[in-house]
A and B are shown apart, each in its own frame.
Chain A
Amino acid sequence: MNGFIHLPILPVVLPLLAGIVLLALRNRSLSLQRGISMLATLALVPLAITLLQTASDGTQLVYALGNWVAPYGIVLVVDRLAAWMLLTTALLAVFALLYALRGSDTQGRHFHVLFQLQLFGLNGAFLTGDLFNLFVFFEILLLASYGLLLHGGGRNRVKAGLHYVVINLVGSTLFLFAVGTLYGVTGTLNMADLAVKLAQTPPENLPLVQSAGLLLFAVFALKAALLPLYLWLPAAYTHTSAPVAALFAIMTKVGAYSILRVASLMFGDAAGPVANLLDTWLAPLALATLVLGTLGVLASTSLRQQAAYLVVASIGTLLLSFGLGTVDSVAAGLYYLPHTTFAAAALFLLADAISRARGSLADHFESGPAMPGARVLGGLFFVVAMAITGLPPLAGFLGKFMLLKAAIASPLMIWVWSVVLATGLVGMIALARSGSLLFYRTHGTPEPDSQTAPTTAALTPVAGLLLLILGLTVWAGPVSSYATATAAQLLAPQQYIEAVLGRTAP
């Protein structure tokens, strides 16, 4: 077991080292850089699986950096949720990188460095057990994402990038205000210790703690693209390059993860005066996000934009399930999370292949000449659309079904059922319309110069992501029982607090 002591830090250190090595080798051959980047990304998969296996029996691995014990030092904590997020990220990254290797990594400089640093930030944010450290990892992943978003340049990308950067910088400022207030009141930044201290908030400090908690919620809602803070997302995701947009499918989930972590640990049922602080806001806002995201899907003028709005809608579904706050609903959300991430990524990659096959019209919703390789593209589009709208028999349907079943006992049941079912239908209609426009209503003469048929290399990542979704569907039993165990672990934060602080909390 001795070698496993340092296991929790590896998903953080490995991409960082790979990024540094890649930076040093920036003038070497492209294939060497690609090889190292791919190898480092692939290595994250077995690492995440090992951590998942360790965490699956309910163990919470606590890694104290520099052996400074909590709450004085910074800790990394691997519990079921963290391992789940790590595995989702690693699998997504492999396929996003695989797609990037067919050319988009040469459009600008340092793609692989930024990609690895992005993974460094993501993995760190999922693992850390310290609120300020979470801020630092957020900044790392954001800074890498600024670079990736702008990779390749171009007018639209710069314009969307400027908005994305500015709004996230304001968000970072708010994060610091919230962290500062919490530190000023409680004198700690360790999340487990904060949970203990917040539960004993004296009445005179209550308004301060509540405003800090809601400020944190606002920051995470900004990253998760929750209403009314989602307006930056569609432009940013529409204009960036396809593999980056695919990787960014996990970025909004970082916000969702942070909301879930903070809401369950620091503002959970056991938090005394600040119990369930965020819950009153989360479910209604998530419902509204789902509605507006779906309207955006209906009103989109290009396939990439439609995919971006589908990401917004999926965040609505995800946070709705977290907002209902029961074991069953959180489990539904956790089961739905990897599915929706993979499906959105597959749609972004496929949209890129489609726009290459359509030539000058790209992925705009205007009828144009027939595409080369339309059968394969159309077939894949059909499956991806089924997955992303949550039609049976794929995992999205199971996730939504679990959510609806969990909502029966909730006072919001009427709202959840009507909104989830109606938006599902509208999303399906919108995608059916796009599909028929892109593939059936073709006219005009083909432009053989600008239309390129999809290559196997381009479609392999899409097919791979679909296989993962199929895996989620076939092994729905074990996966959903893991999700249920994760939800149960999250909603009983006492165990987490004891694991981190190494003693029975008062």
Chain B
Amino acid sequence: MEALISLVIGVLTAGGVFLALRGTTFPVVLGLTLLSYAVNLFLFIMGRLAIGVPPVIRAAAEGYSDPLPQALVLTAIVISFGMTAFVIVLALKARSELGNDDVDGLHHDEDRHR
């Protein structure tokens, strides 16, 4: 289980980094999204992987699952959701202002002759 989760986080992060380094805005946005998925999963398992344990401490229970990472991940999801929405709007705005979807907006005629 640990190996699988680690692999998933690793692949998501690697994919996210690769896409975030692309030259056009849409893959970059996707890359940021993948990165935020990876980090949310990472935060979540920082409370350790456990199955069938109670969420709060009881005297009789063997162990308990840590509720704090779930609160953290909820906050992180909300923030990354808002940020993704913002960056999509910004990418669309850049597309219309710069006339192309290059991250540097370099292929515009004005820039080429500068």
Q: A interface vs B, CB < 8 Å?
A: 132, 136, 139, 143, 146, 150, 153-155, 158-159, 161-163, 165-166, 169-170, 172-173, 176-177, 179-181, 183-184, 187, 189
Q: Chain B nearest CB: distance from A414 CB in Å?
A: 39
Q: Please determine whether B98 and A158 come into contact, CB atoms closer than 8 angstroms.
A: yes
**Residues of chain A with a CB closer than 8 A to B28's CB:** 166
26 contacts between A and B (CB under 8 A): A136-B75, A136-B79, A143-B82, A150-B90, A154-B97, A158-B98, A159-B97, A159-B98, A159-B104, A162-B25, A162-B90, A162-B91, A165-B86, A165-B90, A166-B32, A166-B103, A169-B35, A172-B80, A172-B83, A173-B16, A173-B36, A179-B43, A180-B69, A180-B72, A183-B69, A187-B66
Most buried by A among B66, B76, B93, B105: B76
**Residues of chain A with a CB closer than 8 A to B25's CB:** 162
Q: Please determine whether B46 and A183 come into contact, CB atoms closer than 8 angstroms.
A: yes
**Residues of chain B with a CB closer than 8 A to A172's CB:** 79-80, 83
Known: A153-B97, A172-B83. A177 touches B39 (CB 8 A): yes
Q: Please determine whether B72 and A166 come into contact, CB atoms closer than 8 angstroms.
A: no
Known: A173-B35, A180-B39, A183-B69. A155 touches B86 (CB 8 A): no
In chain B, positions 67-114 with a C-beta closer than 8 Å to chain A are: 68-69, 72, 75-76, 79-80, 82-83, 86-87, 90-91, 93-94, 97-98, 103-105
In chain B, positions 22-63 with a C-beta closer than 8 Å to chain A are: 25, 28, 32, 35-36, 38-39, 42-43, 46
13 additional A-B residue pairs with CB within 8 Å, beyond A172-B79, A179-B43:
A136-B75, A158-B94, A161-B90, A166-B20, A166-B32, A169-B83, A170-B35, A172-B83, A176-B39, A176-B42, A176-B76, A180-B42, A183-B43
Q: Please determine whether B94 and A159 come into contact, CB atoms closer than 8 angstroms.
A: yes
Q: Which of A155, A163, A176, A189 contacts B103 (CB 8 A)?
A: A163
Q: Chain A nearest CB: distance from B79 CB in Å?
A: 5
Q: Chain A nearest CB: distance from B86 CB in Å?
A: 6
Q: Please determine whether A180 and B46 come into contact, CB atoms closer than 8 angstroms.
A: yes
Known: A158-B93, A176-B43. A170 touches B32 (CB 8 A): yes
- The distance in angstroms between the C-alpha atoms of A270 and B32, with both chains bound, is 38
Q: Please determine whether A155 and B97 come into contact, CB atoms closer than 8 angstroms.
A: yes
**Residues of chain A with a CB closer than 8 A to B93's CB:** 153, 158
Q: Please determine whether A162 and B69 come into contact, CB atoms closer than 8 angstroms.
A: no
Q: Chain B nearest CB: distance from A150 CB in Å?
A: 7
Say whether chain B's binding surface is mostly helix, strand, loop, or mixed.
helix
- The distance in angstroms between the C-alpha atoms of A179 and B76, with both chains bound, is 11
Which bracket fits the contact residues of B? 20 to 34
Q: Chain B nearest CB: distance from A416 CB in Å?
A: 36
Residue of A nearest to B106 (CB): A159
**Residues of chain B with a CB closer than 8 A to A146's CB:** 86, 90
- The distance in angstroms between the C-alpha atoms of A166 and B36, with both chains bound, is 12
Q: B interface vs A, CB < 8 Å?
A: 16, 20, 25, 28, 32, 35-36, 38-39, 42-43, 46, 66, 68-69, 72, 75-76, 79-80, 82-83, 86-87, 90-91, 93-94, 97-98, 103-105
Residue of A nearest to B75 (CB): A136
Q: Please determine whether B105 and A155 come into contact, CB atoms closer than 8 angstroms.
A: yes
- The distance in angstroms between the C-alpha atoms of A165 and B75, with both chains bound, is 19
Most buried by B among A136, A154, A172: A172
- The distance in angstroms between the C-alpha atoms of A170 and B83, with both chains bound, is 11
Q: Please determine whether B86 and A183 come into contact, CB atoms closer than 8 angstroms.
A: no
- The distance in angstroms between the C-alpha atoms of A170 and B21, with both chains bound, is 11
**Residues of chain A with a CB closer than 8 A to B103's CB:** 162-163, 166
Residue of A nearest to B71 (CB): A132
Q: Please determine whether A180 and B97 come into contact, CB atoms closer than 8 angstroms.
A: no
Q: Chain A nearest CB: distance from B22 CB in Å?
A: 11
Q: Please determine whether A162 and B83 come into contact, CB atoms closer than 8 angstroms.
A: no
**Residues of chain B with a CB closer than 8 A to A155's CB:** 97-98, 105
- The distance in angstroms between the C-alpha atoms of A81 and B56, with both chains bound, is 38
Q: Please determine whether B72 and A143 come into contact, CB atoms closer than 8 angstroms.
A: no
Residue of A nearest to B76 (CB): A176
Q: Please determine whether A166 and B87 come into contact, CB atoms closer than 8 angstroms.
A: yes
- The distance in angstroms between the C-alpha atoms of A170 and B18, with both chains bound, is 12
**Residues of chain B with a CB closer than 8 A to A153's CB:** 93, 97
**Residues of chain A with a CB closer than 8 A to B90's CB:** 146, 150, 158, 161-162, 165
**Residues of chain A with a CB closer than 8 A to B38's CB:** 173
- The distance in angstroms between the C-alpha atoms of A165 and B43, with both chains bound, is 23
Residue of B nearest to A146 (CB): B86
Q: Please determine whether B68 and A183 come into contact, CB atoms closer than 8 angstroms.
A: yes
**Residues of chain A with a CB closer than 8 A to B87's CB:** 165-166, 169
Q: Please determine whether B39 and A173 come into contact, CB atoms closer than 8 angstroms.
A: yes
- The distance in angstroms between the C-alpha atoms of A198 and B91, with both chains bound, is 41
Q: Chain B nearest CB: distance from A177 CB in Å?
A: 6
**Residues of chain A with a CB closer than 8 A to B76's CB:** 176
**Residues of chain A with a CB closer than 8 A to B79's CB:** 136, 139, 172
